[in-house]
Every structure is written in structure tokens, then in C-alpha cells.
Chain A
Amino acid sequence: MKKPARILLIDDDVDFVKATTKVLESKPYEVIVAFDGKEGLEKARSEKPDLVLLDILMPKVDGFAVADQLKKDESLSKIPVVALTSFSDSYGQPFAFEVSDFIQKPVSPKDLLAKVEKHLERLG
């Protein structure tokens, strides 16, 4: 049997994480959770996930900085990063960093799963 895909979800909103985990776990995915950018980076390094779902506005190390660090780390730079954005996050300036895709919050379970599947498929 195929090894389940491992998804790292980095978001400081516990309730959002709870709901999202529930949805993701309906599929054969293993969900690793981090509640801030620092923890997210650590887990990215130790767990080497297949996909990162990354919230942008977080205290301490925000999503911009995490995405930046992931791109700089050679062992992690190939992992697709999907940014979870609130409509207001780009208030003022467009995103000036590199990610594979965006998901706008709130996201319906169907759309979330479709996006995740698309990026995992791309990995082969």
C-alpha cells in the first residue's frame, strides 16, 4: 500500500486547525500540526513533509518569513507550499514571496481537498 502523504499545517488558529485536520484526515493523509512559524520550521526540518499549508499572519515568525526560510533550505526548497490567506492579508501590498499556490480562508472542504490533491499529484 502507498505510504500516506504527509501534510504540515502551520496555523496559529486552533479552531481552524481542528476543522482542517478533520477534513484532511478523511483522506489517507498524515497531518502534522504546528501553531506558529518557529515550530513550523522546526517540524518542516525534522518531519520533511510532502506539502506545507502555511498561514500568513502569525505572531513571532509569520508566513512570509517561513516561506522564505523554506526556500533557502536546500533539503526543503522542493516542498510545495500553499499559502492560507485571509482576504485582508494583501491589504496594502501584493505578496512578494514565492509559494506554489494560495488558498483563501475560509475554504470549503471540497476546495481544500482539491487543492491539496492537485499539489500532491504534481509530486508524483
Chain B
Amino acid sequence: MAKDRVLCNLRWRLRSLAGRPSQLFLLFGMGALLGYAFASGNATCGLSAMTLALVGSMAGPFTGGNEAEWARHLEKLLKSERDRLIGILDSLDEGIVIVGPDRVIRFMNPSMIREFGDGTGSRCHKHLHDLEEPCRGFCKLPDVIAGASERWERRFPDGTTYEIVSSPFADSDQTPCMLAAFRNVTREKLIEIELMELNQIKSALLLEKTTELEQISKDVAKLREEKRRIIRFLSAITHDLRAPLSATQSCLWAIMDGYAGPVNDEQKDLLQRSTRRIDGLLTLISDLLDIPRMEAGQLVQEMKDLSFNEVVDRSVDSVERLAREKNLALDVDLPKGSPQVCGSSRRLQQVLTNLLSNAINYTEQGGISVRVLAAGNEIRVEVSDSGVGVPPQELPKLFQDFFRGSNAKSDGTGLGLSLSRRIVEAHGGKVWAESPCPETGRGSKFVFTLPKKTDTGTAADLRVPSDAARTNQG
């Protein structure tokens, strides 16, 4: 009697479980096996070894005990298992759906209902895919029921995308069904698509830039060739312009200095005037031809370690004749151990020669002095004269391109000082002009600095007149 009651109770339980297909896999398997075992009236026969072990261990304390208690215990056990499985299904992020062979939805878990709305009892193709008829293209049902597992992706027109895994599943009534898990991968897909688009854009940009770069390098090569041609042309022009002047100058100097016979003072004066004009013309040609290099920022190219005193000596040599001809004193004051600089000897000579010849040009009486001070990390060069001077308001403008001061003489381009400034700056130095006597406005002082090479001698501040110091007092 009691056994019958228990069996009846269990059958009812199992039926109620079967009526709610939310109890899955293990529970169904176990329930079905237990159902079968009880129905056959033999608690030990027909149970699989695993189930036997499970049930045996749980039922251990009741063996030979009260059958009703045992049944209650089993019921409790089933209930707790059932609750756990329901809990798992409820909290699963994936949507779970079970579809019968008639394409009718038998079960949906809460996630699935959230995504698609409750469609239990509706046709699968209508409810899930919004199709009037099952579509052969993606309906996996026949294959899955036949035992195949499918993994596929379903993208809806609004972009929502699911990854679907469909597996065969025997429902509690043993009906072969399809169990499908839906995972919403819309976000991942969007990111994937965005990444793909970004990659496409990247490739397109890369191609564009590569083409641009190729074009640029072609243009650069063309410009370089152009520049080489211009430089060759300018070189040729400079040579052709300077060569006749140079030869003329050499001839005039030879006459003037008496190498072709005695020269009287009057002749000498006229020859001096000629050679001075030729000098000016030679400088002008050089300055003009420096403009393209200046614009290209290539005034100073070859830099090497130099003994600065030598640079000063050579510059002084080149203007000595000019000073002598005007009876101007030319004092040179160099530090004992020559400071070392890293630079272009030719360009630094150009700066000094420019400052010196300006000083001589604008001075009629008195003299010019060059003073080189090496202190700290710096070489400071001062070129002072007792000439007409520069109005104070013009001092800062002197180094601008083509600037001509109010006291400037008629010849000259206004390029010499701006070239000098660029050369000094390219060496990391500064150049400026001062008015040494603002009250009278007479005289001027041009100063430039250069960074000193650090590994030079220490006698820098010991000031003695060098071998090169000279005075040409008329």
C-alpha cells in the first residue's frame, strides 16, 4: 500500500516535472530512470551503475527503513536538484529554447523570453525568425533531430546578431527535439565590423600616403637636381664674373706696389681708388650669390675645429691693405692661447672681413680695433671704429636683410651684415652693434660671440698682444 502511494506520488512528481520542461538533462535522465525503476516494481533492477551509486549513497541511511521516509527523501533530493537546474536556466545569459519536431516551441528560458518574447506553443520559424514558412536555407531542425550539432550565426535585418548552437535533445516524453542556445553577439559583431572598416580605412590611408610619399620623393629628387643645376650655374657665373675682376685687381696691385716700375703718388692714389672699387664689386658678387644658399639655410656647411686666432689673422690680412691706404690704425688684440671653435673657416672669415671692411669704409680718421676675448664657454669678438657711427634707433635693424642705414654709403646691398648674422647664428652665436659714445654718436662697436670648444687651454684670460697684433699708423 505504502509502496503504491509512494510510486503514485513519484509518478505524479515526475509527470509534473515532465509537464514543465524546464528540468533538463541530468534531472530528466535521472527522473526517467527512477520512474522506470519504480514502475517496474524493483528498486534495484534497471538502474544504471551511476544512478545506483548516487541513489544508494543518498538512500543508505534508510535501507530497510520506512519506505515513506525514503520516498520523501528521494522527493526532497529531486526537488533540490530541480531547483538548482531551474536556477541555472534562469540565470543563464544565453537564451535556451527547445523546439519539437513539429517546429513548435516547447520551452524558453527567461533570457530567451527577454530577447524574443514568450513564444511557448508558437511555431519556431514564425516566432524566432519572423518567417511564415520554415526556410530550408537555415532551418537546422531536421538535421539536428537526426543527431547533428550545428553552430551558426543569425543576423536580423536590424543588425541584432545571435550565435546559435543547436544540439539534439530528447524531451522528457522521449520526443526527439532540438535544444538551441542563443547568444547575443551584436556588440561583438559591431566591434568586429568597425574594426574591419577601420582596417579598410587604414589600408586606404596607407596607400594614399605611400603614393603621396612616392610623389614627394620624386619631387625632392627633381628639386635636388634643379638645385644642383642652379648651383653649377651660379658657380660658373661667379667664376666668370670674378675672374676678370680678379685678374684686373692683380694687375693693378702689381703696378701700384711698384712691380712694374716706379709709381708716383698721384698714380698711386688713382690706382688705389680703382682697386677699392674692384674690391667692393668682388664682395658684392659673392654676397649676391650667397642669397640662394642663405634662403636654403645652407650658408654654413662644412664645420670643423679651428684655431680662432688664425681666422682673425687671415681676415685682418685681407683688409690690411684697405686700412693702410686710408692711413687708419688697425689694432689686433688676441688671447694668448688661441681659443678653438667648431665652424667654417671661410664663413667666419667672411663675417670678420665684413665687419672690418665696414669699419674701414665708414672711418676717415683714427683707427679700427679687433679684440678677441675668450671667457667661460664663449669667444667674444669686438670690432670697434672711430667712424661716423650709427644712430641708436638703427642699431637693431642693421642686421636685417637689405637694410640701409641713414649714414650708409651709396654702394653696398645691405646684405653683408645680414649674411654675417646668419653665419654667426648658424655657429650658435649672437651678433649685435653698440654705440660706444651715445653723447657724440661717433664710432661704433660690432660684437659677436661664438661658443668655445671646451677642451682648450686655460690661458684664455691672460691677455697679451699676439704675434699677429699690428699697427699700421701712416
A45 at the interface (CB under 8 A from B): no
* Chain B residues numbered 243-300 whose CB sits less than 8 Å from any CB in chain A: 243-251, 253-254, 257, 259-260, 278, 282, 286, 289, 293
Find out whether the CB atom of B254 lies under 8 angstroms from the CB atom of A109.
yes
CA distance A91 to B390 in the complex (A): 33
Find out whether the CB atom of A15 lies under 8 angstroms from the CB atom of B254.
no
Find out whether the CB atom of A88 lies under 8 angstroms from the CB atom of B250.
no
Mask: chain B, 290-328; 1 = CB below 8 Å from A; 0 = not: 000100000001100000000000000110010000000
CA distance A109 to B243 in the complex (A): 17
Contacts of B250 in A (CB 8 A): 15-16, 19-20, 105-107
CA distance A123 to B245 in the complex (A): 33
Greatest chain A CB density within 10 A among B247, B250, B259, B301 is at B250
B160 at the interface (CB under 8 A from A): no
B contact patch SS: helix
Specify the chain B residue showing the minimal Cβ separation from A84: B246
| Min distance, Cβ B270 to any Cβ of chain A, angstroms | 18
Find out whether the CB atom of A106 lies under 8 angstroms from the CB atom of B249.
yes
- Would A109 and B257 be within 8 Å (CB), given that A19-B251, A86-B246, A94-B301 are in contact? yes
B336 at the interface (CB under 8 A from A): no
CA distance A94 to B254 in the complex (A): 30
Find out whether the CB atom of B242 lies under 8 angstroms from the CB atom of A87.
yes
CA distance A13 to B240 in the complex (A): 11
Find out whether the CB atom of A91 lies under 8 angstroms from the CB atom of B234.
yes
CA distance A109 to B231 in the complex (A): 31
* Chain A residues numbered 61-107 whose CB sits less than 8 Å from any CB in chain B: 86-92, 94, 104-107
* Chain A residues numbered 9-26 whose CB sits less than 8 Å from any CB in chain B: 13, 15-16, 18-20, 22-23, 26
B470 at the interface (CB under 8 A from A): no
| Min distance, Cβ A14 to any Cβ of chain B, angstroms | 8
Find out whether the CB atom of B302 lies under 8 angstroms from the CB atom of A94.
yes
Find out whether the CB atom of B286 lies under 8 angstroms from the CB atom of A88.
yes
CA distance A91 to B352 in the complex (A): 20
- Would A86 and B242 be within 8 Å (CB), given that A92-B235, A109-B257, A109-B259 are in contact? yes
Find out whether the CB atom of A23 lies under 8 angstroms from the CB atom of B254.
yes
| Min distance, Cβ A55 to any Cβ of chain B, angstroms | 10
A57 at the interface (CB under 8 A from B): yes
Mask: chain B, 113-128; 1 = CB below 8 Å from A; 0 = not: 0000000000000000
Find out whether the CB atom of B254 lies under 8 angstroms from the CB atom of A19.
yes
- Would A108 and B346 be within 8 Å (CB), given that A88-B242, A89-B239 are in contact? no
Find out whether the CB atom of B235 lies under 8 angstroms from the CB atom of A89.
yes
Find out whether the CB atom of B289 lies under 8 angstroms from the CB atom of A91.
yes
A111 at the interface (CB under 8 A from B): yes
Greatest chain A CB density within 10 A among B235, B246, B286, B318 is at B246
Contacts of A105 in B (CB 8 A): 242, 246, 250
Find out whether the CB atom of A15 lies under 8 angstroms from the CB atom of B247.
yes
Find out whether the CB atom of B301 lies under 8 angstroms from the CB atom of A19.
no
Contacts of B254 in A (CB 8 A): 19-20, 22-23, 109
B400 at the interface (CB under 8 A from A): no
Q: Point out the residue from B238, B282, B302 that lies within 8 Å of A91, measured CB to CB.
A: B238
CA distance A23 to B256 in the complex (A): 11
CA distance A104 to B243 in the complex (A): 12
Find out whether the CB atom of A26 lies under 8 angstroms from the CB atom of B259.
yes
Find out whether the CB atom of B247 lies under 8 angstroms from the CB atom of A16.
yes
| Min distance, Cβ A60 to any Cβ of chain B, angstroms | 16
| Min distance, Cβ B69 to any Cβ of chain A, angstroms | 110
Q: Point out the residue from B242, B243, B346 that lies within 8 Å of A90, measured CB to CB.
A: B346
| Min distance, Cβ A105 to any Cβ of chain B, angstroms | 5
Find out whether the CB atom of A86 lies under 8 angstroms from the CB atom of B231.
no
Other than the given A19-B247, A20-B250, 7 more pairs (CB < 8 A) read: A19-B253, A87-B286, A88-B235, A88-B289, A108-B253, A109-B259, A111-B317
Interface residues, chain B, CB within 8 Å of chain A? Answer: 228, 231-232, 234-235, 238-239, 242-251, 253-254, 257, 259-260, 278, 282, 286, 289, 293, 301-302, 317-318, 321, 346
The 7 A-B residue pairs with the shortest CB-CB distance in the complex, in nearest-first order: A88-B238, A15-B247, A106-B249, A19-B250, A94-B302, A16-B247, A106-B246
